[in-house]
Chains A and B, each alone.
Chain A
Amino acid sequence: MSKISLNKAGIKASFRRLCFCCLFFFLLHSGLQAQKISKYYSSSIQENGILYFIEGREGFKTDKKDKFLYDLTYLSTNDSLTLNFTIYNAEVLRVEQMELKGSSIHTSSPVSKIFVKDDGKGWEHRYTSTFSFKDLQEFYSSETAMFIIQTKKHGQILLQPKARKWKKQASIFSRIFQMIVANRVED
């Protein structure tokens, strides 16, 4: 009887240790993420400038829990950057426009379809849009933000991140933009 209770206590202690280790490394990982921006972007030197690819970030969900992912591509010699995004929905959407709304900015861009495919539960839509670098810089310096996807038949889809997630994302993206500007060739 006492052996069984000892074993139970041992299992509980091991489980607690495992949980502690997981929590420790999760916090360590989160901490590292907050400091290092290198894992959020990659850059490549081209003949006509530096190509930056800012990795897709999640954290945006619609009120119907539709998933939204996006990434940014920027060539340092251009004034505009490309925002590619994926939106999952139960129905096939015809997206017409992407809008970015921040504290002091509201800008929009027409979109082009890359593909629409079945993802098992619904439909995965991939579109591309173009925004000016300055507008994106201002958008990521906003305290609150919203992505608005305008569709032809399904109205608008609002995507607003939680304040905490946005604060972290905006600070990382702002720092990346700051680095891009710092790397520009001065006249």
Chain B
Amino acid sequence: MIGTIYTDVKGPVAVTGNSNSTKAGSAEATSILGLFATGDASIQAATTNGNISKIHHVDHHSTSILGIFSTYKITVYGE
């Protein structure tokens, strides 16, 4: 879901059969002017950042202002 003027949306990415998360980790990619985009918003990066070995579920958080500055963040929950 993307708003042309402003976006601030959270949503699901994946879920597993594991339960009881005690850790969380995130990873982010950013885009400027819709022309340049950098970063590592992979589940692998978020898992490593959170020191997680067993994934419970994954969410994303997207933000954008006029498409000029956008971010895409992945958060992994697990143990």
Contact = CB atoms under 8 A, between A and B. Distances in A.
Contacts of A48: 20
Nearest to A48: B20
B9 to A, nearest CB: 10
Contacts of A26: 65
A75 B51 contact: no
A145 B66 CA distance: 35
Contact of A42 (B10, B20, B51, B63): B10
A55 B26 contact: yes
A73 B23 contact: yes
Contact of A51 (B24, B25, B48): B24
Contact of B24 (A29, A53, A114): A53
A25 B51 CA distance: 36
Interface in A7-36: 21-22, 25-26, 28-29, 32
A25 to B, nearest CB: 5
Interface size class on chain B is 20 to 34
Nearest to B56: A44
A115 B51 CA distance: 9
Contacts of B77: 44, 51, 53
A146 B40 CA distance: 29
B11 to A, nearest CB: 12
Contacts of A128: 51
26 contacts: A22-B66, A22-B68, A25-B6, A29-B6, A29-B65, A42-B10, A42-B24, A42-B59, A42-B61, A44-B24, A44-B56, A46-B20, A47-B19, A48-B20, A51-B21, A51-B22, A53-B77, A73-B22, A73-B23, A73-B24, A84-B25, A84-B49, A84-B51, A114-B49, A126-B48, A126-B49
Interface of B: 5-6, 8, 10, 19-26, 48-51, 56-57, 59, 61, 63, 65-66, 68, 73, 75, 77
